[in-house]
């Protein structure tokens, strides 16, 4: 039986999960850039298309390649360049309105549906926000990869600037932190404009449970 390099295997599992755009997860920070390189090769070699999960799932862009090679720790100069490039990809609402319905945003944040091989093409995806963040004080189970978002609007202010920041961060978090573990929801098309607006409302609307 062929011996499996468990470090490469762990990195491959982490990388495969990371490449699923709808699910935010932290890559294996103990894996060296060389291990991540080997993991990337293994994933591209062994990934099989099924349903809506096509080979583009394992394709990486310049930013992801640099983050993989640097172990998510590029130089300050490189990080600044990458963030500047990602900022140019931001597509803010043409109507200048960043707020939707916080109740719809709550349902979206709770949902982890979509983007899996057996999901229907064109079906709306969930945000799966509780996988990484604490949002509602009533939520008993949530991830801790991302920071707690309790009191987001109350802390930052219920302003248009706060709304714009939240929208842009959800659309493409890499415009703020180059190697952020948070998916680029809008940039990759995992969430549409209305869905992002609903999530912004969940975070910023003073009536939302987030701000109670």
Contact 159, 168 (CB under 8 A): no
Do 184 and 124 belong to one domain? yes
| Cβ-proximal residues to 161 (8 Å cutoff; 6+ apart), any chain | none
157 SS3 class: coil
79-135 tens-digit pLDDT: 999 999 999 999 999 999 999 999 999 999 998 876 676 667 777 788 899 999 999
For residue 64, being part of any structural domain is answered with yes
Do 106 and 189 belong to one domain? yes
CA dist 107 and 202 (Å) reads 10
25-76 tens-digit pLDDT: 344 444 677 777 787 788 778 777 777 666 677 778 899 989 988 889 999 9
Q: DSSP state, 111?
A: -
Domain that holds residue 106: 102-211
Number of separate domains in the chain? 2
Residue 125 sits at the vertex; the CA angle it makes with 212 and 172, to the nearest 5 degrees, is: 70
Do 144 and 62 belong to one domain? no
Do 121 and 197 belong to one domain? yes
Q: Which of 59, 76, 93 is a domain's end point?
A: 76
Do 106 and 174 belong to one domain? yes
Do 118 and 177 belong to one domain? yes
Output the domain CATH number for residue 183.
Answer: 1.10.760.10
Q: Indicate the range of 109-113, 192-196, 204-208 predicted with least confidence.
A: 109-113
Do 70 and 167 belong to one domain? no
Contact 33, 74 (CB under 8 A): no
Do 109 and 200 belong to one domain? yes
Do 121 and 189 belong to one domain? yes
For residue 87, being part of any structural domain is answered with no
pTM of the model: 0.79
Taking residue 212's Cβ as centre, other Cβ atoms within 10 Å add up to 12
């Amino acid at each position: 039986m062929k011996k499996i390099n468990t470090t490469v295997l762990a990195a491959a599992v982490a990388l495969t999960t990371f490449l699923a755009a709808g699910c935010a997860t932290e890559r294996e920070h103990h894996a060296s850039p060389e291990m991540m390189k080997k993991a990337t090769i293994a994933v591209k070699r062994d990934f099989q298309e099924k349903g809506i999960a096509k080979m583009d799932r394992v394709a990486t862009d310049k930013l992801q390649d640099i983050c993989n090679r640097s172990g998510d720790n590029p130089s300050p100069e490189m990080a600044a360049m990458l963030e500047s490039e990602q900022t140019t990809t931001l597509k803010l609402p043409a109507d200048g309105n960043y707020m939707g319905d916080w109740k719809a945003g709550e349902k979206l944040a709770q949902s982890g549906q979509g983007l899996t091989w057996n999901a229907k093409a064109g079906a709306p995806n969930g945000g799966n926000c509780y996988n990484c963040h604490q949002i509602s004080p009533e939520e008993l189970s949530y991830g801790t990869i991302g920071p707690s978002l309790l009191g987001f609007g109350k802390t930052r202010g219920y302003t248009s600037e706060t709304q714009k920041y939240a929208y842009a961060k959800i659309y493409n978090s890499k415009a703020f932190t180059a190697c952020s573990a948070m998916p680029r929801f809008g940039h990759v098309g995992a969430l549409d404009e209305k869905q992002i607006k609903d999530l912004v409302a969940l975070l910023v609307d003073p009536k939302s449970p987030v701000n109670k």
